[in-house]
Structure 1
Amino acid sequence: MGELKTQNEKAVVRLMIIALVPFYLSAVVLHHENIMELANSRAWQAFLGLTAISVGPIVCLHVILRLVANNVGPRWKERLAHLRWHHPLPGSRADALIRKDSRIDVSTLPPQVTALLNDSMSPHERNAYWYSTIFRKVRDTSAVSNTHRTYLLYREAAAGTFVLFWVTVSFDLIGRGAYGLPLMTLSAYVVSAVYLLLLIGAANQAGNRMVTGAIANFTPGQPQGDTE
């Protein structure tokens, strides 16, 4: 999984940069005169000159966004991606997901998979069984690996965007209350919230497809995949 997360790093940052667009557009709409005055000032031109010969602002932003995404715990990322407080991992719901997937014929499933349909299994036990018995044996196949990578991409981006959203809200409230200086318009809030919900929805769907995709690609007797 570490390798997949590394492959996703640049894409995650790009998705989080998109989340900042409503903030910047709001700043332009609300404070364009002040921004133009600042842009024409000698101090700002000097700052631009310094950034041109040292660490650029885009590089700094890239590092900050990576830190934001990496400082959210895996458990919280799962809860956000699936909007579930208890047992958020999609493998916990493998029994329900199997029955909903048109690719899977329940009547032809091998015993290793039908065990997931046992109602006596707790969600935790079901996820652990799915991971150890099914997923680990097929995770290196291209179909499952690609879905897993997509899931991690949207999960990380959703978590980072969630943090950025509330940081933006905090700065906006402080600006309005302490200085009478709003930073976000109502339409920007709506766009930001919709974008976050789209990322959450994409993560949720990819996670569910990862579970059923592993089952659809599972064949009894397969060698166990690399566990490192």
Structure 2
Amino acid sequence: MSETKNLKESNKTTIYAVITVLCVVIFLIQLGIEGYVNIKNIYAGLGISGGVSVISLLLVNIIPQNFKHILVFWRVKRVLPGNRVIELCRKDERLNMNDLQNKWPELFLHDMPEQDRNPFWYKNIYKKTDSSAQVIDAHKNFLLFRDLCSATLVMFLCAGLLKFISIDGLHIKWIVLAFLFIMTFIFSVISRHYGNRMVTSAVAVGADS
């Protein structure tokens, strides 16, 4: 099993727990605290929350990675942060550009085309540092929040669909849609931070080796 698959497996429990909490919050918004306190609503809410969490996990696993990365980095071309490794390293206070130019002149000294940077970073830097604690931590959190971003987007789209189709007794509040949109945005920003951090952490570890 690859390192990425191991990290994704270790994230499943956390993703399930977070989505369950989000579902409970949504029920509180929909029913109000007084309505939710009713014992029947509590059981129904917990049961539906668990079911939605399982369904979201299943859907997240079939969403293409490329689409997940577009959600996180808000780009459609050269999406992965390794394409922007030079710019990211310049902003990282841990790194000295002169040292990086001496270590990897092909990437940091010469004018390497942007489309070649991510493959170079992956092969020559990441693969040699992917077992370090810094890189593993950043990678794990990147995958965690990327999948949470995808899961909340799925929930947002489903809630939006229910909002605009007529089902007796079911009226999704606008605040639920706003809540899910905001959570999708927050998870996207956090995932992007860790994705960028993974790139620069691999460079930092590689530069010291």
**TM-score (structure 1 length as normaliser):** 0.77
2:132 equivalent to 1:141: yes
- Partner of 1:109, secondary structure, is helix
Of 152, 168, 177 in structure 1, the residue corresponding to residue 143 of structure 2 is: 152
Q: CA deviation at 1:111?
A: 4.0
The residue that corresponds to 2:192 in the other structure is 204
CA distance in 2, matches of 1:216, 1:124: 22
CA distance in 2, matches of 1:154, 1:65: 14
- Partner of 1:182, secondary structure, is coil
Read off the aligned partner of 1:163 and give its amino acid letter.
V
The one-character-per-residue Cα deviations of 1:145-184 (angstroms, maximum 9, x if unpaired) are 1111111101111111111111111111113xx6585212
2:73 equivalent to 1:85: no
The residue that corresponds to 1:98 in the other structure is 89
**What is the count of residue pairs matched by the alignment?**
203
- Structure 1: gaps of 5 or more residues: 49-55, 223-228
Of 16, 23, 29 in structure 1, the residue corresponding to residue 26 of structure 2 is: 23
The one-character-per-residue Cα deviations of 1:176-208 (angstroms, maximum 9, x if unpaired) are xx6585212x33332222211110010000000
Greater RCO structure (CA 8 Å; 6+ sep): 1
Q: How does 1:99-114 map to 2 (within 5 A)?
A: 99-109=90-100, 111-114=102-105
Contact 1:22 1:192 in 2 (8 A): no
Q: How does 1:7-22 map to 2 (within 5 A)?
A: 7-22=10-25
CA distance in 2, matches of 1:69, 1:24: 22
**TM-score (structure 2 length as normaliser):** 0.84
Comparing 131-140 and 11-20, the one that deviates more: 11-20
Which has more helix, going by share of residues? 2
Read off the aligned partner of 1:16 and give its amino acid letter.
I
CA distance in 2, matches of 1:12, 1:39: 26
- Structure 2: gaps of 5 or more residues: none
Read off the aligned partner of 2:83 and give its amino acid letter.
S
State the identity %: 25
